[in-house]
């Protein structure tokens, strides 16, 4: 877009000069023919330029005199907002007085105003028979609702409260899966292909664990993410398996990887996601009840900030999470034993994890953590080892495992003795 130069016209026929761009042209006044005719010039080596001059509407195209010409500003500073004067402040106060005098002319309402909550009001409401009836009905309904939604966790046999069906959990998991894939794509994460040795290893272990999970009908999908700095793995409800490559060196072998994947599959076997969602109902009721009780004292925001983020997590959320993690350890240990993996490797894996966390300085008190301490996990695994070894024997793994053990010894330079019957 060409910028037309601003030309100055001879005296007594000066017009507002035009015009630097298309926006100024559109906002200008009608053309001044006399000034436009004089504005056409030709210079050596340059095309003619046209400076358009305008006159105000209704002047018939005549030019304005010098006294009425005003320069066109090219840039203008933002207007400065002045502080209201004393007179303006007095006017605002008068308007406020007129407003209050409209709904309270004599000021009797303001003088007779009382606090919304007083001690007498709270005492009267608390000892009211209708309040007692409401409390009894609410508590009775809550107790009935709780006991009618109890169920038994598979494998561990624990009784727990759950109000969410597998279908609702699966829908929630699908949304979580889409958000997770979007975040991985935005971060530039690389998902390893199926032919990568790390993906092959994960698929091999999963192929042996799935038949013993009771979830063989799920649509299993395995994603191995190339991230050597992240030691993590998880399984979303519905069979979406995510393994970060940083955890594979800590597992060292298929038995260690089976301990990790068995633990993650166990969360879905026990339906821990639905249990956590159900627990949130009770914690929210406690939170809002505390806010309502603290509202008369003006402590509602403080209760919401302190109790909602700290006290409820320490009192309810973290213990529930630690219990679920320990339960997943137990179910996963039984699962990997039935799949003919060595359950001793689970304790070795958690020992290696403990060393890594201590080197990184990530240790925190167990009561503040969502996971049990690694030492506690190792002790529990060692307590469950006799039962896991019994499960392994029941799965008829003795022949296969003995031959595999001999093969591993051969790789270490030992001699294999094979007895062939005559």
What are the angstrom distances between the C-alpha of 243 and each of 192, 238, 330? Answer: 10, 16, 21
Number of H helices, E strands in the chain: 17, 9
Residues 248-297 have pLDDT tens digits of 999 999 999 999 999 999 999 999 999 999 988 888 887 777 777 766 66
Looking at residue 234, the DSSP 8-state letter turns out to be: E
Residue 288 · residue 303 · CB < 8 Å: no
Which of 174, 221, 264, 327 is catalytic? The answer is 264
333: which residues sit within 8 A by CB, 6+ positions away?
259, 262, 343, 346, 381, 384, 388
| Cβ neighbours of residue 271 closer than 8 Å, sequence gap 6 or more | 153, 162, 166, 169, 237
CA nearest 155: which of 368, 400, 344, 384?
384
pLDDT of 412 > 60? The answer is no
**pLDDT digits 0-9 by tens, 89-117:** 888 877 777 766 666 666 676 677 777 66
**How is residue 116 written in tokens?**
């919304």
- Model pTM score: 0.65
- Are the C-beta atoms of residues 264 and 213 closer than 8 Å to each other? no
From 49-58, 100-109, 241-250, 309-318, the region with the lowest mean pLDDT: 49-58
Q: Annotated catalytic, 264?
A: yes
Q: What is the mean pLDDT of residues 318-338?
A: 93
Q: What is the pLDDT of residues 12-27, one digit of tens each?
A: 444 444 444 444 444 4
The whole-angstrom distance between residue 113's C-alpha and the CA centroid of its chain comes to 46
Query: Looking at residue 40, what is its pLDDT?
Result: 43
CA distance 6 to 22: 14
CA–CA separation, 16 and 35 (whole Å):
9
**What pLDDT sits at residue 335?**
94
First to last CA, the chain: 100
Q: Can you tell me the distance from the alpha carbon of 259 to that of 246, in angstroms, rounded to the nearest whole number?
A: 16
Contact at 8 Å (CB) between 261 and 205? yes
- Average pLDDT of the residues in 233-244: 94
**Tens digit of each residue's pLDDT (9 = 90 or more) over 269-283:** 999 999 999 988 888
Residue 344 has pLDDT above 50, yes or no: yes
List alpha helices for 61-196, DSSP H: 86-103, 108-111, 119-126, 129-147, 166-186
Instruction: Calculate mean pLDDT across residues 376-401.
Output: 84
Give the CA distances from residue 368 to residues 167, 362, 371, in Å, rounded to whole numbers and listed in that order.
32, 12, 9
> Which residue in this structure is represented by tokens 């002319």?
105
């Amino acid at each position: 877009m060409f910028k037309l130069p601003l030309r100055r016209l001879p005296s007594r026929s000066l017009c507002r000069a035009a015009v630097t761009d298309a926006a100024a042209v559109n906002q200008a006044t009608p053309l001044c023919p006399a000034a436009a005719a004089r504005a056409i010039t030709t210079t050596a080596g340059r095309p003619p330029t046209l400076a358009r001059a305008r006159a105000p509407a209704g002047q018939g195209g005549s030019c304005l005199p010098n006294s009425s010409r005003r320069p066109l500003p090219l840039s203008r500073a933002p207007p400065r907002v002045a502080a209201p004067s004393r007179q303006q402040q007095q006017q605002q106060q008068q308007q406020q007085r007129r407003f209050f005098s409209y709904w309270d002319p004599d000021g009797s309402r303001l003088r007779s105003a009382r606090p919304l909550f007083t001690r007498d009001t709270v005492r009267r409401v608390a000892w009211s028979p209708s309040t007692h009836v409401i409390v009894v009905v609410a508590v009775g309904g809550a107790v009935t609702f709780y006991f009618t939604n109890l169920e038994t966790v598979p494998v561990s046999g624990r009784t727990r409260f759950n109000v969410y069906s597998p279908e609702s959990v699966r829908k929630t998991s699908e949304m979580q899966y889409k958000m997770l894939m979007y975040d991985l794509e935005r971060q530039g994460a690389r998902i390893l292909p199926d032919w990568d040795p790390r993906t092959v290893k994960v698929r091999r272990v999963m192929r042996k664990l799935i038949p013993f999970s009771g979830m063989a009908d799920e649509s299993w999908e395995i994603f191995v993410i190339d991230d050597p700095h992240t030691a993590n793995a998880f399984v979303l409800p519905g069979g979406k398996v995510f393994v970060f490559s940083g955890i594979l060196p800590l597992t060292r072998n298929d038995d260690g990887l089976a301990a990790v994947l068995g633990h993650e599959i166990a969360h879905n076997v026990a339906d821990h996601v639905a249990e956590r969602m159900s627990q949130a109902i009770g914690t929210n009721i406690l939170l809002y009840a505390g806010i309502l009780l603290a509202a008369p004292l003006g402590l509602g925001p403080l209760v919401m900030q302190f109790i909602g983020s700290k006290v409820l997590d320490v009192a309810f959320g973290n213990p529930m999470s630690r219990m679920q993690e320990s339960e997943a350890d137990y179910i996963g240990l039984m699962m990997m034993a039935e799949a003919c993996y060595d359950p001793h490797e689970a304790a070795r894996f958690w020992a290696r994890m403990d060393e890594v966390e201590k080197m990184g300085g990530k240790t925190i008190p167990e009561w503040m953590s969502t996971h049990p301490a690694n030492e506690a996990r190792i002790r529990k695994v060692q307590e469950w080892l006799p039962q896991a070894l019994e499960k392994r024997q029941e799965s008829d793994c003795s022949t296969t495992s003995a031959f595999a053990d001999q093969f591993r010894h051969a790789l270490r330079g030992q001699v294999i003795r094979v007895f062939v019957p005559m």
